[in-house]
Amino acid sequence: MNAVALRARGVLEQAWLPILLLALWYVASESSTNPFFPPLSSIWASFITELESGRLAVNFWASMRNIAVGLLAGVVVGVVVGVAIGRSRALRTILNPYLQFARSVPQVALVPIIIGAFGLSALPKIWAIGFACIWPVLLNTVDGIRAIDPGVRDMVRAYRISTTRELFKVVLPAALPQIMAGIRISLAVAVVVMVVSEIYGSTEGLGYFINYTRGLFQPAATWMGTLLVGFIGYLLSTLFLVVEKRALYWYHASAE
What's the rounded Cα separation, in Å, for the pair 177 and 165? Answer: 19
Ranges of residues in the chain whose predicted pLDDT is under 50? none
Residue 36: predicted pLDDT:
87
What's the rounded Cα separation, in Å, for the pair 200 and 111? Answer: 8
111 is in which domain, residue-wise?
A: 40-255
Residue 112: predicted pLDDT:
80
Residue 170: predicted pLDDT:
85
What's the rounded Cα separation, in Å, for the pair 107 and 110? Answer: 5
Residue length of the chain: 256
CB 57 within 8 A of CB 51: yes
- Within-domain flag for 33: no
- Within-domain flag for 32: no
- Within-domain flag for 162: yes
DSSP alpha helices (H): ranges in 167-218? 172-200, 206-215
Residue 82: predicted pLDDT:
93
- Within-domain flag for 4: no
Residue 1: predicted pLDDT:
55
Q: What is the DSSP letter of 117?
A: H
- Within-domain flag for 181: yes
What's the rounded Cα separation, in Å, for the pair 125 and 133? Answer: 12
Residue type, 46: S
- Within-domain flag for 9: no
pLDDT in tens, 35-48: 888 999 999 999 99
Residue 79: predicted pLDDT:
95
Question: For the domain that residue 60 is a member of, what is the CATH number?
Answer: 1.10.3720.10
pLDDT in tens, 9-37: 766 777 778 888 888 988 888 888 888 88
Q: What is the DSSP letter of 110?
A: G
Residue 157: predicted pLDDT:
80
What's the rounded Cα separation, in Å, for the pair 192 and 201? Answer: 15
- Within-domain flag for 167: yes
- Within-domain flag for 123: yes
The number of distinct structural domains making up the chain is 1
